Amino acid sequence: MLGKILAIDDEIDMLSLLKRIIEGKTDYEVTVTPEPKRAIRLIQDTYFDLVLLDLKMPGMSGMEVLRKIKEIEPDTAVIIITAYGTIESAVEAMKIGAIDFITKPFKPEQILLTIQRTMDLQKLKRENKALKEELAKEKEADFIIGKSKVMQSIYRYILQVAKTSATVVISGESGTGKELVARALHHHSLRSSKPFVPVNCSAIPETLIESEFFGHVRGAFSGAIRDKIGLVEEANGGTLFLDEVSDLNLLMQTKLLRFLQDGEFRPVGSTKNKRADIRIIAATNRDLLELVKQGRFREDLYYRLNVISIHLPPLRDRREDIPILAHYFLEKYAKANKKSVKGFSQAAMSKLITRDWSGNIRELQNVIERAVIICQGEYIQASEIDPLTSLQSESSKEIWDIPLKKAKRRILVDFYHQYLTYVLRQCKGNVSEAAKICGVKRQYLHRLMKIANLKSSSFRE
């Protein structure tokens, strides 16, 4: 992955020198600005791995900028560059969170070395963070909740087939738990100590897909400056999860089939084949067989993948699972938000059970998360379940008999009240933060709060 660097210095010459040195010798992308205020805006909009910061600038001091950067994006590394760099100011900067400093004038090799060291560290940190997130997901792997007959038999089936190396196709609408099932299969397999590598086949551009899967060697194409390991090799010994497999193009389908047949693949630009031992689990929310009939999915690949198939029914076809799932999510979000919500009122539960749930379990999870956040008492009320949709039905009774302008205002006031209550609860009455979430200016938010009769102090804890 390329890295992004931002250089801030009031001397334009220094900026162009830095850009030339770094872009000439590395593949990092360098953005420069002499304007501290603009730099802050850039950092708010884009993630930079590293900021090179001049300590002495007119307008805003380097220390101030450093503090701001650490506030906005603590993960961004900052290297101080200064001509007036006394040890004291450098030490102070390091206390605030700068990772290193360098004094002007400097030799190109010297600054490149410092940059490279920092960028390597950043990469390591990023990988560790990803690993931690991955681990948290692994731990969740087994929490497949559901007491319906169909979920029980799916769970038994998972335990039965997990230990084999057979490929599996998991089908089901969006949000039905396909990835969760894939993780559970990996978790219960003999490969569980090896990686589980998820790939969203629809998210990779066609031109990169072969190299993403199989890797490439240096010089394979312009931009391939070093050898790169592909996902297949990364997953070696473990499981490769092909999400949205129907989105693979026909050429990639052919290459994947070849790999599945003999366990060998060839990195782009290489002359040698490599081997990898992986189990493939594929997921789709389309009817693969129908795509086969239309000539958009290879029939031989379909049969090669579909050794075992698991179909997850939509939530509306297993409504008996809704109460237990709702409680599971309630506990999870009550804990996460430190709220003592104990359960659902009867009306709330029947609303949950009868709702459409076109977004399936993911939608249920989101609705419960919001309900927990806005819940005022110990039990979630029907009006707290998806307040914005209930708004129409609840106010609609009275609005038909009043003039349009008044009706519109009533709906709007209701809407502001519920929307802002939700946002303000999230940020505990901090209006600046709430304005940021809403994407409006603070003053405007204050005006809306007045219309909705809300006070920020009622949200402080």
Q: Which residues make up the interface to Mg ion (CB under 5 A)?
A: 179
User: 3, 36, 62, 146: which one contacts ligand ATP (CB under 6 A)?
Assistant: 146
Stretch that binds ligand ATP, among 89-97, 142-150, 292-300, 444-452 (CB under 6 A): 142-150
Which residue in the shown chain puts its C-beta closest to ligand ATP? 177
Shortest Å distance, C-beta 426 to ligand ATP: 19
Shortest Å distance, C-beta 143 to Mg ion: 16
User: 62, 177, 215, 267: which one contacts ligand ATP (CB under 6 A)?
Assistant: 177
User: 61, 103, 148, 174: which one contacts ligand ATP (CB under 6 A)?
Assistant: 174
With beta carbons less than 8 A apart as the criterion, state whether 446 and 431 touch.
yes
Q: What, of ligand ATP, Mg ion, none, does residue 362 touch, CB below 5 to 8 Å by kind?
A: ligand ATP
Shortest Å distance, C-beta 309 to Mg ion: 16
Site string for ligand ATP, 261-300 (x = CB under 6 A): ------------------------x---------------
Q: What, of ligand ATP, Mg ion, none, does residue 144 touch, CB below 5 to 8 Å by kind?
A: ligand ATP
Residues near 265 by beta carbon (within 8 Å), at least 6 away in sequence:
213, 214, 230, 232, 255, 258, 259, 273, 274, 275, 276
For ligand ATP, the binding residues in 179-208 under the rule CB under 6 A are 179-180
Stretch that binds ligand ATP, among 177-185, 295-303, 331-339, 371-379 (CB under 6 A): 177-185
Closer residue to Mg ion, CB minimum distance, 248 or 375: 248
Stretch that binds ligand ATP, among 99-107, 137-145, 214-222, 287-295 (CB under 6 A): 137-145
Shortest Å distance, C-beta 369 to ligand ATP: 10
- Burial letters 127-157, b for 16+ CB under 10 A, else e: eeeeeeeeeeeeeebeebbbebeebeebbee
Shortest Å distance, C-beta 334 to ligand ATP: 16
Closest CA to 349 of 327, 375, 373: 327
Closer residue to Mg ion, CB minimum distance, 49 or 179: 179
Q: Distance between CA 423 and CA 13 in Å, rounded?
A: 45
Closer residue to ligand ATP, CB minimum distance, 268 or 364: 364
Shortest Å distance, C-beta 207 to ligand ATP: 24
Q: Distance between CA 70 and CA 184 in Å, rounded?
A: 38
Q: What, of Mg ion, ligand ATP, none, does residue 61 touch, CB below 5 to 8 Å by kind?
A: none
Q: In degrees rounded to 5, what are phi and psi of residue 274? A: -125, 165
With beta carbons less than 8 A apart as the criterion, state whether 102 and 45 touch.
no
Closer residue to ligand ATP, CB minimum distance, 118 or 189: 189
Using CB under 6 A, list all residues that contact ligand ATP: 143-146, 172, 174-180, 285, 361-362, 365
